[in-house]
Every structure is written in structure tokens, then in C-alpha cells.
Amino acid sequence: MLGGLLTYFWYVYLSSVMMYAINSLFLVYVAIIALTPIAFFMNLKQIDVGTLPARFSARLPRRFFIGYSILVAATLVVLWTGRIASVLRTGLLPEEYAGMVTLGSQALDLGVLVPLALSAAVLLAKKSPWGYFLISVSLTVGLMMFIAIPAWITVPLIQDGKTNLAEAVPFFTVSLVGIAAAVILYLNVKQSRI
């Protein structure tokens, strides 16, 4: 779980530094970007990855997590390549990107989250210990995003009375299933004996 939280913080603050106007917290964001990978690898060093499969219940629905990871990757690829194609075709960023010069979220999602989800799915399908680690990281990152995504959908609806339903419906659906998936995953972690 800690690995997923650190990955989430790295992702969010890298997005903030790359996409938003410079502000008084810029150096704090840079420090978070610099320190979270160090903390991630220090945490990873403490995990005996080879023992992870035994740390989960035999009832863990691996196929569900494999399918869900593929669904997340496919959703991001389909939605974001559509948006990217539109920008490349017209040369214009969508209205909500006013003041930005690129599609940072799409780049990070396609360059970080999609490979993470697909790697977790493939390695979990092979029953690799790394699959258990990556699905934990992936679902924890997702859980944090799944809490934020409904706000991303709701705020424009409240402010302007509109939201992009072609993106909102799939994201909201994936978010609801993702919250359930994270709960299922963590309910299937065996308690350690002290």
C-alpha cells in the first residue's frame, strides 16, 4: 500500500509541476518528486517480494484483478488517444486546458499508469510474486485517483452545468469498480503473525 501511495504522490506532483503555472509551492512539489522514488525503493527493499503470493488468501480473485487491470489500461488508451487525436487534428487544446501547453495527464497516464496496469495483469496471470506487488501498487494508486475522479467529473457539472460524459461515464464506472477492487484486494491480505 505504501508503494502505491508513494507512486500516487509522485504522479500527482509531477503533473502539478509540469502542467500548472508556477506558484509558491513549486519547490515543495519538486522535493516531493525527488523524494518519493527514494522512499519507494527504500520501502521495496524491506519487502520480500518472493513471499507475497503466500501473503494473500487462496480466495483472491486473480482473474478479476487481471481483467480489471486490462480494463483500466484499455479505458485510458481509448479515451486519451481519442483526445490526443482530436488535438493533433485541430491543433487546439480543449477548453478546460486553457493556459496549458500540453496534455500532461494523458502523457502520464499512457506512459506510467497503462504500463503499470498491464505489467500487473501479465505478471499476476503468470502468478509471479511481482504481479502481486504491482497489483497492490496499481490498485492503491487507482484508489487514490478513484476518490479524486468523481470530483473531476462533478466540479465542471456544478460550475458550468456540463461535463464531458464521453469521458466521465467510463471514468466514473472504472472508479466505482476500482474502489471495490481495492477493498477486495486488501480484505484478502493475510494478517501477519507477530
Q: Is the pLDDT of residue 192 over 70?
A: no
The pLDDT value given to residue 167: 78
The pLDDT value given to residue 144: 86
The pLDDT value given to residue 190: 86
DSSP output for 9-57: HHHHHHHHHHHS---TTHHHHHHHHHHHHHHHHHHHHT--GGGGGGGB-
| Of the candidate ranges 66-75, 114-123, 132-141, 155-164, the one whose mean pLDDT is the lowest | 155-164
Q: Is the pLDDT of residue 39 over 90?
A: yes
Asked whether the beta carbons of 13 and 32 are under 8 A apart, the reply is yes
- For the segment 67-108, what is each residue's pLDDT rounded down to a tens digit? 999 999 999 999 899 888 988 998 888 777 767 677 888 899
Q: What is the mean pLDDT of the chain?
A: 88
Q: Tell me the average pLDDT across 51-70.
A: 94
Dihedral through CA 164, CA 170, CA 172, CA 174, nearest 10?
Answer: -160
The pLDDT value given to residue 188: 94
- For the segment 16-36, what is each residue's pLDDT rounded down to a tens digit? 888 777 889 999 999 999 999
The pLDDT value given to residue 193: 58
The pLDDT value given to residue 87: 87
Q: Tell me the average pLDDT across 146-173.
A: 77
Q: Is the pLDDT of residue 145 over 90?
A: no
> What is the DSSP-derived secondary structure letter of residue 58?
T
